[in-house]
Structure 1
Amino acid sequence: MTQNRLQYRPGSFCLGERCDMCEEHMQRMEEFDSKIPEEVKYVIKKLNDDYFEAVIIGGCVRDILLGVEPDDWDVATNALPCQVKSIFGKTVDVGLKYGTVAVLEGNKKIEVTTYRKEDAYSDNRRPDKVDFVPSMKEDVARRDFTVNSIAYHPGSGFIDLFNGISDIKARIIRTVGDADKRFSEDALRMLRAVRFMAELGFEAEPGVIESIKRQKHLLRKVSKERIRDELTKILVSPNPSKTLLLKETGMLPVVIPELEEYSHEAMQQVAFKLENIENDPVLRWAVFLRYKGRDDILHILNNLRFSNAEIKRICSIMENIHKDIKPIPGLVKKLVSVIGEGTFLDVLKVKEAILKAEMKSCRNNKNGKDSHDGNDDCILKGFAKCEYLAEDIKRIDAAINIYRAAKDKGECMSIRDLAVNGDDIIRLGFKEGKQVGEVLEKLLDRVIKSPGSNRKEELLKYASRYLKNSLRINGNRT
């Protein structure tokens, strides 16, 4: 492959229409250049000085255009991996097969990838063969979406061969070239399309949606872990209502067969609930699976290769979601002692999200979006339901405030917070094992009712009396 010195005509690409080196273009380039770390500029300059092309490309360019600080920086070049390694002192092989070398510069890890084209994708996930090419155009043509196909060179400007900047302005997700071809190459791109819509707040070009509907079956060939990761990114995005697209495109029953029965209305309700809860992945998955039973939830989570800790947390939420939460200090602290502080908070957050979603739906009905044909009786019932939901939300908030107040005061809400432990109880004469646990539970009940009694001397006296009573009762039985 022949390498040529970088030769971009300054001003050929800009955020506005094509122009020469106009003042506006220069100003925008200066603003863009200021967002690029010096380490990245150094890598590009070093490659240019050795007569190679080099540009930043992909998500990092997209993110800067959207005013977001990139997490990663990717450089594309016509230098071969071995040449990149010879130019830079510190490198890591992160994907030589695909032409990628990580350059370690300062505190940055910058991935430098050789221009390439790809042959057939027999597994609908990765190319069977990669060929390095001298042309940036060939490299860009293989990329997934136009918003990820924009390149930039400091001092020379944007290289936007597929109108990605226009699509960013229009807030559109569009494939580079034929959508069917792009999705058949890598089936995960269908979920990525929804993920980008959810993360960026964009809409899809109609051809993208139609292609997904035709090719959704190819997702069966994608690993469960990758599907899980894309679904999680959609769920924790700023626009989780885009999960509706999973239903509308037919992808949902392909990636999670157990959710095939979810109706469009059920998915709308799920979307409302997702919007009302913090973007903790576990909480959002709990809401997403809200309408399924425990066995189905376990099967889904195991099939998607969730960790044991995540499965335990989600299942704990679902097992306790129907518990009645009364804002009474003793009952709140008792519930915390039974299900644990973490589960208690998780359950209340999910409950509150569910109630707020139902409240939103109820208010929509009151405002005439679902007028029940003007039936006064139905309208009155709608008002009553809204008031009931509002009271439930107040009870949830009150319970959280009770918990936080008890926590701030250092009040005991678990056995580990008691002023005594199992060893103290054994020294009193109790048998190690079940009996010790029963005594600690009784002591916890006592302390929850009377927070001031959590003192070692007082608890040991109470435990001693309990032991004497137990011995007397057992003696009478014999």
Structure 2
Amino acid sequence: MTNIRITEVFTQAMPVLEKLEEAGFEAYFVGGCVRDLLLERPIHDVDIATSAYPEEVKETFAKSIDTGIQHGTVTVLYGGSSYEITTFRTESGYQDFRRPDKVTFVQNLDEDLKRRDFTINALAMNRQGEIIDLFDGLGDLKRRVIKAVGVAEDRFHEDALRMMRAVRFMSQLSFSLEEKTRQAIINNHELLSKISVERIREEFVKLALGKDSRQAFKDFLATGLSEECPGLAGKKDQLSVFTDLKAGPDDEAVFWSLIAVLINLPADKISPFMRAWKNSNAMNQQVRQIVVAFDLLSRGEESDFDLFEIGQENLEAALKLAGLLGKPLSSQVLLDRYNRLPIKAAGELAIDGQWLIKEGIKPSPELGQLLRKALEGVVSGQVENNQAAIAEFLAI
């Protein structure tokens, strides 16, 4: 065991451990919060493991919520904060390669730590600040490696999503994969197909936006994980460009746009691809708009009205995408052109459909055509944005 300086988030939670111990139970901080404390990374909440059974936890604290009581987790409200407290447990029988068929509560911290995914996440800390390290997680933190607890093949058969978590942690922590863990992913990557796309997407996006995404992406491809992902099978060569970028993406929509461009998705195939990944309709639409804008800007054929239709957010995203791909677009020139547009939104046009009706235009396709003509005229600088000038321009 080793000692570490305890930070504020742990100090605030210390009374929870004290209360459990006063009631006769063992209690420890466990998992990612301990890892991040040792790595001096930001910590937003802490996880607590205890020898107390869920009902005993509820009896110890006045306020609690049964957030996952069947798996031993109770959320306790204490001192103005909420804390997830989970009973020491073992797990067995993973028929769906994700969730255990059976959870057994135990009284031993060692047994609880054995079920965890990676050595750096199998660390515990007591309220004296002593670190309990059964699997040399501290050594792996120093060596900056992601290593499975025990037999890697067993850990991935228990939960196939752990393979994606491995490369995600590589990206977020700038760690490398321990060789036996890497080989186990290569041997078992097909199991990822058993996992819901939503869970895979969550890890994939975290990987992409991590500080060392390019190296992690290289292992995402090399281990075969990409072959089990929607729309990416057989695309290793195209996707390998990601690993050679000068920088990784820092925005989710830009990331998906980058993937779409790398695998040469035509505009009409972007939405089906995004839907296959279970992305939101809003994200689907934004990515399609960014890719279309990027293609247009890359050809250098954009008019002022094109810039108007692209809009500032998508223009900036398309320019980010171009920067990632090393495309020599004149970003500042394009942004300056956009900023000089007379109006930035259709709602700023001096006329609308009601005004045209008052001027004698009946509701019809012609009305929509006149509105668009007015909008194009104002944006392109052919006519000033006032009702009199637009009326003359439209000859009504």
Q: TM-score, normalised by structure 1?
A: 0.77
Q: Which residue of 1 aligns with 2:134?
A: 161
Does 2:223 align with 1:249?
yes
Provide the C-alpha distance between the structure 1 equivalents of 2:168 and 2:288, rounded to a whole number of angstroms.
25
Deviations 1:211-230 (A, max 9, x none): 01111111111111111111
Provide the C-alpha distance between the structure 1 equivalents of 2:143 and 2:19, rounded to a whole number of angstroms.
35
SS of alignment partner, residue 9 of structure 2: coil
TM-aligned CA distance change 1:339 to 1:448, over 3 Å: same
Q: Which residue of 1 aligns with 2:351?
A: 420
Does 2:374 align with 1:440?
no
Provide the C-alpha distance between the structure 2 equivalents of 1:287 and 1:274, rounded to a whole number of angstroms.
14
Q: 1:136 aligns with which of 91, 102, 109?
A: 109
Provide the C-alpha distance between the structure 2 equivalents of 1:199 and 1:169, rounded to a whole number of angstroms.
16
Q: Which residue of 1 aligns with 2:209?
A: 236
Q: Which residue of 2 aligns with 1:398?
A: 333
SS of alignment partner, residue 313 of structure 1: helix
The Cα of 1:169 is off from its aligned counterpart by 1.0
Q: 1:284 aligns with which of 255, 258, 261?
A: 255
Unaligned runs of 5+ in 2: none
Does 2:321 align with 1:350?
yes
Provide the C-alpha distance between the structure 1 equivalents of 2:233 and 2:85, rounded to a whole number of angstroms.
42
Provide the C-alpha distance between the structure 1 equivalents of 2:100 and 2:83, rounded to a whole number of angstroms.
23
The Cα of 1:37 is off from its aligned counterpart by 4.0
TM-aligned CA distance change 1:322 to 1:92, over 3 Å: same
Letter in 1 for 2:355: D
Provide the C-alpha distance between the structure 2 equivalents of 1:35 and 1:452, rounded to a whole number of angstroms.
62
CA contact (8 A) 1:188 1:222 kept: yes
SS of alignment partner, residue 112 of structure 1: strand
Does 2:99 align with 1:126?
yes
Provide the C-alpha distance between the structure 1 equivalents of 2:80 and 2:281, rounded to a whole number of angstroms.
34
Provide the C-alpha distance between the structure 1 equivalents of 2:54 and 2:81, rounded to a whole number of angstroms.
19
CA contact (8 A) 1:419 1:455 kept: yes
Moved more, 185-194 or 332-341: 332-341
Provide the C-alpha distance between the structure 1 equivalents of 2:332 and 2:117, rounded to a whole number of angstroms.
45
Identity score, percent: 32
CA contact (8 A) 2:383 2:389 kept: no
Provide the C-alpha distance between the structure 1 equivalents of 2:57 and 2:382, rounded to a whole number of angstroms.
67
Letter in 1 for 2:39: L
Q: Which has the larger radius of gyration?
A: 1
The Cα of 1:272 is off from its aligned counterpart by 3.6
Deviations 1:429-448 (A, max 9, x none): 11224222222222223322
CA contact (8 A) 1:274 1:353 kept: yes
TM-aligned CA distance change 1:451 to 1:107, over 3 Å: farther
SS of alignment partner, residue 118 of structure 1: strand
Deviations 1:401-455 (A, max 9, x none): 332x337xxx313322212222111111112242222222222233224398223
Letter in 2 for 1:308: N
The Cα of 1:243 is off from its aligned counterpart by 1.2
SS of alignment partner, residue 325 of structure 2: helix
Letter in 2 for 1:343: N
Q: 1:40 aligns with which of 5, 13, 20?
A: 13
The correspondence of residues 49-60 of structure 1 with structure 2, limited to 5 A, is: 49-60=22-33
Provide the C-alpha distance between the structure 2 equivalents of 1:413 and 1:36, rounded to a whole number of angstroms.
45
Letter in 2 for 1:402: R
Q: Which residue of 2 aligns with 1:378?
A: none
CA contact (8 A) 2:29 2:47 kept: yes
The number of equivalent residue pairs is: 393
Q: Which residue of 2 aligns with 1:93?
A: 66
Q: Which residue of 2 aligns with 1:371?
A: none
Deviations 1:95-128 (A, max 9, x none): 1111000112244321000000111211111111
Q: Which residue of 2 aligns with 1:316?
A: 289
Provide the C-alpha distance between the structure 1 equivalents of 2:219 and 2:7, rounded to a whole number of angstroms.
37
Letter in 1 for 2:319: L
Provide the C-alpha distance between the structure 1 equivalents of 2:221 and 2:269, rounded to a whole number of angstroms.
18
Letter in 2 for 1:148: N
SS of alignment partner, residue 82 of structure 2: strand
The correspondence of residues 15-414 of structure 1 with structure 2, limited to 5 A, is: 25=3, 29=4, 31=5, 33-241=6-214, 242-256=216-230, 258-264=231-237, 266-273=238-245, 275-277=247-249, 279-290=250-261, 291-294=263-266, 296-324=269-297, 333-355=304-326, 392-393=328-329, 395-403=330-338, 405-406=339-340, 411-414=342-345
Letter in 1 for 2:50: T
CA contact (8 A) 1:335 1:344 kept: no
The Cα of 1:162 is off from its aligned counterpart by 1.1
Provide the C-alpha distance between the structure 1 equivalents of 2:273 and 2:381, rounded to a whole number of angstroms.
44
The Cα of 1:181 is off from its aligned counterpart by 0.5
Letter in 2 for 1:414: A
Letter in 1 for 2:198: E
TM-aligned CA distance change 1:451 to 1:200, over 3 Å: farther
Letter in 2 for 1:102: T
Provide the C-alpha distance between the structure 2 equivalents of 1:448 and 1:327, rounded to a whole number of angstroms.
19
CA contact (8 A) 2:65 2:74 kept: yes
Unaligned runs of 5+ in 1: 1-12, 15-24, 357-391, 468-478
CA contact (8 A) 2:377 2:383 kept: no
CA contact (8 A) 1:54 1:78 kept: yes
SS of alignment partner, residue 111 of structure 1: strand
The Cα of 1:457 is off from its aligned counterpart by 4.0
Provide the C-alpha distance between the structure 1 equivalents of 2:299 and 2:265, rounded to a whole number of angstroms.
25
Letter in 2 for 1:248: A
The Cα of 1:343 is off from its aligned counterpart by 3.0
Letter in 2 for 1:213: I
Provide the C-alpha distance between the structure 2 equivalents of 1:324 and 1:306, rounded to a whole number of angstroms.
26
SS of alignment partner, residue 429 of structure 1: coil
TM-aligned CA distance change 1:429 to 1:191, over 3 Å: same
SS of alignment partner, residue 346 of structure 1: helix
Deviations 1:129-151 (A, max 9, x none): 00000000000000000110111
